[in-house]
Structure 1
């Protein structure tokens, strides 16, 4: 190969890497920024500042709306783009997180339950919300009263449940619009729980859904249930968080089971994967920190799942290194939700 051909090859490779990198982003989710709140959903102000300082040096923090709309419209993003979100609208966000976000001039989004704003003592009030909104914070829908949305009332049919659940979201959206003057139509599922009927029903009304299973997002992601990496509690360690911040959305399709609500534990999880930039034999999948056995047939992955015998929220996480950039990992997460025998959902 002569020098001209070599330079053309290098240029093409760098260009393809740039395009690949510009079609990915990561969304982080926090709840409390405090040392006096439940540890599982909390990060200390000091650790939160450490996270933001790292992002300031190594990533591009963008408004959630810009990231979502760019990916939906196949528009390029900066490499290593990150959006920051908070769920539940706690007052300690205003007290502890907001000054840090202002220090770094970072935009971010808070998903709130409008009827609780200014009512519960631990929540933001509307004066704080409007002050933060004037300083670049966006607010979005987390439902009316943070219910387990998959719970049915006594003798309630599935159709009646779906109608009631969607009406709850619509009422919260209307409340937010009246208070703030805009509607993003972004909805974060309380507890990260959803099923196919709920997310499809909301998508048909124009909502983008945000869940709590792990993973990066890309133009080919499911915008009715986008993954977000939790960054508090046991997930607040910056060393492990760095890997997630540099992750890429694994291009999967034909995932089975397709629904995330399960009545009995599936024996296997299967999916297809685009192998343009990853090797199927390098895919490793984990359940409760244990590696799952897998079979590979061309682009088809078959995971032998460990039995799920307890109610609650479970997930399978799969990763594989990028061929173009081996230090970065593709990430796929399959959430699985199981109710108690009497149909209740656990906090």
Structure 2
């Protein structure tokens, strides 16, 4: 079984809580950021979102930084040009701020309804090789499955997730 540790959105708690633990275990992990939020345009208090300097430190410490879009839209509702603009803008901003263009992308909201063949085509054309989605059995073709585990989940939920109990479950469905 392969296990990847990933985080979305770029919340400060990833740096203050998760990163030190992952460093202690020498565990590889990825953080998918919403670039406009890191620029200060988040829907929350900006202290809750990591800025570029913090993201640069995490990347220097071994975290993979990927894209979670520019504004966190529902890609299931976007036409091709709008999807491409989101994907291109996010990738370009990460490259401008951190010095590399990411090739991994985590779908905002992450469910099968939030990703279309048009979005997949635009993501590949924008330079993304790995697209992460939710739910092993219901995810869009060509994506990599993820199962959400939150701070509210206990060891029983985590163990069930590892055995595939949630392979058809979509968080918001």
Which of the five TM-score ranges fits, normalised by the shorter chain? 0.7 to 0.9
Instruction: Give yes or no for the alignment of 1:244 onto 2:150.
Output: no
Tell me if the contact between 1:214 and 1:230 (Cα under 8 Å) persists in the aligned partners: no
String of CA shifts for 1:94-122, please: whole Å, max 9, x gaps.
11111111121111110001222152221
Instruction: Give yes or no for the alignment of 1:228 onto 2:150.
Output: no
Report the count of equivalent residues: 162
String of CA shifts for 1:27-64, please: whole Å, max 9, x gaps.
xxxxxxxxxxxxxxxxxxxxxxxxxxxxxxxxxxxxxx
> Which runs of structure 2 are paired with 1:112-261 in the superposition (5 Å)?
112-117=33-38, 119=40, 120-151=46-77, 161-192=79-110, 193-207=114-128, 208-214=130-136, 222-223=141-142, 225-232=143-150, 236-247=153-164
Going from structure 1 to structure 2, the CA distance change for 1:204 and 1:128 (only over 3 Å counts) comes to closer
Going from structure 1 to structure 2, the CA distance change for 1:230 and 1:127 (only over 3 Å counts) comes to same
Tell me if the contact between 1:109 and 1:139 (Cα under 8 Å) persists in the aligned partners: yes
Instruction: Give yes or no for the alignment of 1:100 onto 2:21.
Output: yes
Question: d(CA) in 2 for partners of 1:109 and 1:213?
Answer: 18
Greater fraction strand: 1
TM-score for the superposition, normalised by structure 2 = 0.80
> Which runs of structure 2 are paired with 1:74-85 in the superposition (5 Å)?
80-85=1-6
String of CA shifts for 1:84-143, please: whole Å, max 9, x gaps.
000000011111111111121111110001222152221001121111111101111111
Question: d(CA) in 1 for partners of 2:69 and 2:167?
Answer: 26
Question: d(CA) in 2 for partners of 1:100 and 1:334?
Answer: 28
Question: d(CA) in 2 for partners of 1:91 and 1:334?
Answer: 27
In structure 2, the gaps of 5 or more residues are 41-45
Question: d(CA) in 2 for partners of 1:81 and 1:334?
Answer: 19
Q: CA deviation at 1:246?
A: 4.3
Q: CA deviation at 1:149?
A: 2.6
Question: d(CA) in 1 for partners of 2:121 and 2:77?
Answer: 17
> Which runs of structure 2 are paired with 1:320-331 in the superposition (5 Å)?
none
Tell me if the contact between 2:107 and 2:132 (Cα under 8 Å) persists in the aligned partners: yes
